[in-house]
Amino acid sequence: MKKKLILFSLVCSCVALSAFAQEREYVIVVHGGAGNMGDLQDDPERSVQYYAALDSALMIGDRILASGGEGPQAVMAVINYFESNPLFNAGKGATCTADGTFELDASIMEGKDLSAGAVAGVKTVKHPINAAYAVKTKTDHVMLSGSGADAFAKEQGLELVDNMYFATPKTLGWIEKLKQESKKNGTVGCVVLDKNGNLTAGTSTGGMFKKKWGRIGDSPVIGAGTYADNNSCAVSCTGHGEYFIRHAVAFNVCARYKYLQEPVEKAAGYIINTELNTNEGNGGLIAVDKDGNIAMPFNSTGMFRGYLYKLKGTDKVEKEVGIGDKMVRYGSAKP
């Protein structure tokens, strides 16, 4: 009996050591919006464009994190890529307002000190996430909006564009008609656990189709669309912003993890599938906790999403992307 106990202890020790050796050195999770994606999932040609874009975003972040780059640099680089890709409702390709113009929002937050920056309703900033970071690092404020935010971006030397830069042939069609509902889904976001153990979250969006009166959603609202805390997790949300604001979704995921000690997947799943539902608060979120665990729940028919992580002590990188219920391996996973 004693020998069996010793053998059991040795096995447990080996398992524990193996688990420790397999800790995640860094993690990156991305989303490109959530919504009704039934038609897209049945269209292989269009789907592969999104799979490729999500894969590209992950590899951009991986190159920065693998070389020792910090979370904010990885988050901004990834979101810059999304903001330049007309497939997504952020930056180039953003959806339009009821007046046929473009108003963009973004935010970024670091978990190590809870520092955050955001811009709302900017019209000439090519990369709103960069302006959000500048607010965080160059001012005493958290959020700047409208013409003030555009003026600040200009003062900081950020790249500016004419408002119609954000249009695509598809959005120009919407501007001409403004009759059909948009099929562009949500927002883009990125959450990171870097090699230093720091968490960062960022979100960027073109907002709601045909929005009026300077409407602002959850994406630039710290605690609603974006939140990061090294004692819990980093979260970026996408969906019907009004509901995500009312439920303080990003903060509440962190709070459930921190105070109820729920695993991040359980905390995120509860918020998305219980507090919110498919009729109110349609959407999803991505999250990574301080230990590198990942959550990507959504209550819509689909969400553009993907993750990549590197295991400590190995050259192994795990990576998957998804649109609907299933995740698939796509592209190269070499570090």
10-residue mean pLDDT series, the chain (335 residues): 41 38 86 87 87 97 98 98 96 91 97 98 98 98 98 98 92 66 70 98 94 94 98 97 95 98 98 84 94 96 96 93 88 50
Domains of the chain plus CATH, in order, are: 25-328 (3.60.20.30)
Name 135's Cβ contacts closer than 8 Å, sequence gap at least 6.
117, 118, 119, 141, 142, 143, 144, 149, 152
CB 58 within 8 Å of CB 308: yes
Q: Which residues are catalytic?
A: 187
Q: What is the pTM of this model?
A: 0.90
SS3 readout for the chain: CHHHHHHHHHHHHHHHHHHHHCCEEEEEEEEEEEECCHHHHCCHHHHHHHHHHHHHHHHHHHHHHHCCCCHHHHHHHHHHHHHCCCCCCCCCCCCCCCCCCCCEEEEEEECCCCCEEEEEEECCECCHHHHHHHHHHHCCCCEEEHHHHHHHHHHCCCCECCHHHHCCHHHHHHHHHCCCCCCCCCCEEEEEECCCCCEEEEEEECCCCCCCCCCCCCCCCECCCEEECCCCEEEEEEECHHHHHHCCHHHHHHHHHHHCCCCHHHHHHHHHHHHCCCCCCCEEEEEEECCCCEECCECCCEEEEEEEEEECCCCCEEEEEECCCCEECCCCCCC
State the binding site for substrate: 215-218, 238-241
Q: What is the pLDDT of residue 20?
A: 39
Q: Token pair 């010793």 is at which residue?
A: 6
Tokens in use for 106?
Answer: 């973004």
CA distance 237 to 268: 10
Q: To which residue do tokens 């106990």 refer?
A: 5
- Whole-number Å distance between alpha carbons of 28 and 26: 7
Closest alpha carbon to 107 in 201, 185, 215: 201
* pLDDT at residue 178, rounded to an integer: 59
pLDDT of residue 142: 98
